[in-house]
Amino acid sequence: MRFTVIIPARLASTRLPNKPLADLGGKPMIVRVAERARESGASRIVVATDHADIAAACAAHGIEACMTRADHPSGTDRIAEVAQVLGLAADEVVVNLQGDEPLIDPALLAACAACIRNGVPMATVAHPITDVAEVFNPNVVKVVLDKAGRALYFSRATIPWSRDAFALSKESLPAGYAPLRHVGLYAYSNAFLQAYPALEASPLETIEALEQLRVLWHGYPIAVHITGSAPPAGVDTPDDLERVRRHYAA
């Protein structure tokens, strides 16, 4: 199927300044991310940025970039602007790949894009949680699904809550208990992507600090592709950066 990958990239970062331009084995991180996206079978890869230095780094390595406004409240709004500038058709599938995921599995992008069908305008990814500490970690976002594999709810809380088992112990996961961790990779139909910025923010997303809850609150379905294991972690901190640099050095 045809899909376009748009990679939002801002130069500002509180924890890791100039993160998109950080060197990974001789190339900026944003270029490494775009190169991974190329392996997904996407018809087009575009970096969405508000900074000329990122656009210049992309141009130097043959990566298409599109300048955007600097005042977007989220990466989703930023890629919506780019999809509009590119003149993408309403039924084009757009994958939102974060610019700090240089080790992302390209197959995940294609799998997420393939979930946009049969009236489902948005899709994302999740994987089973096997570490009990992650089950109770509010920084780990969980998702529960309906029988069709669509999201019922996303939360920082432990969902579903195994009432009887957790009443006895929270030291291990009960047999048959299979919570899912949400992975921040998204796909949209372009028609929905263009409508998204006009959606009113929801009380749920404010409480949980999870933007995707706006979509559910307004009644739109989100398909969830389940992958067997956790994708490699992205780059949020200096330690993450060194971990990925070791990968490229090897």
Q: What would the pLDDT profile of 170-180 be if each residue is shown by its tens digit?
A: 999 999 998 99
Instruction: Give me Rg for the CA atoms of the chain.
Output: 18
What are the C-alpha distances in Å from 46 to residues 148, 150, 205, 235? 32, 28, 28, 20
Beta bridge partners of 201: none
Q: What is the pLDDT of residue 183?
A: 95
DSSP 200: P
| 124 neighbors 185 (Cβ within 8 angstroms) | yes
Q: What is the pLDDT of residue 14?
A: 66
Over range 221-237, report the average pLDDT.
92
pLDDT per residue as tens digits for the range 83-116: 999 999 999 999 999 999 999 999 999 999 999 9
- Does 126 or 14 have the greater pLDDT score? 126
- Domain extent listing, the chain: 3-239
pTM assigned to the model: 0.93
Average pLDDT over the chain reads 94
14-28 residues labelled b (16+ CB within 10 A) or e (exposed): eebeebbbbebeebb
| 126 neighbors 108 (Cβ within 8 angstroms) | no
Structure tokens, 218: 């307004």
Residue 75 has pLDDT above 90, yes or no: no
Over range 148-159, report the average pLDDT.
97
Structure tokens, 119: 């009236």
The CATH H-level superfamily of 3-239 is Spore Coat Polysaccharide Biosynthesis Protein SpsA; Chain A (3.90.550.10)
Over range 123-144, report the average pLDDT.
96
> SS3 for 178?
coil
Q: Which of 17-21, 59-63, 69-73, 224-228 has the lowest mean pLDDT?
A: 69-73
173-207 residues labelled b (16+ CB within 10 A) or e (exposed): beeeeebbbbbbbbbbbbebbbebeeeeebebbee
| 98 neighbors 78 (Cβ within 8 angstroms) | no
Q: Which of 45-49, 186-190, 209-213, 236-240 has the lowest mean pLDDT?
A: 236-240
Quote the CA–CA distance of 235 and 242 in Å, as a whole number.
9
| 34 neighbors 47 (Cβ within 8 angstroms) | yes
Quote the CA–CA distance of 120 and 92 in Å, as a whole number.
13
Q: What is the pLDDT of residue 17?
A: 82
Structure tokens, 113: 């894009």
Measured torsion, CA atoms of residues 11, 15, 20, 24, in degrees rounded to the nearest 10: 150
pLDDT per residue as tens digits for the range 10-51: 887 667 888 999 999 999 999 999 999 999 999 999 999 989
Residue 230 has pLDDT above 90, yes or no: no
- Only one residue has tokens 């997303």, namely 205
> SS3 for 209?
coil
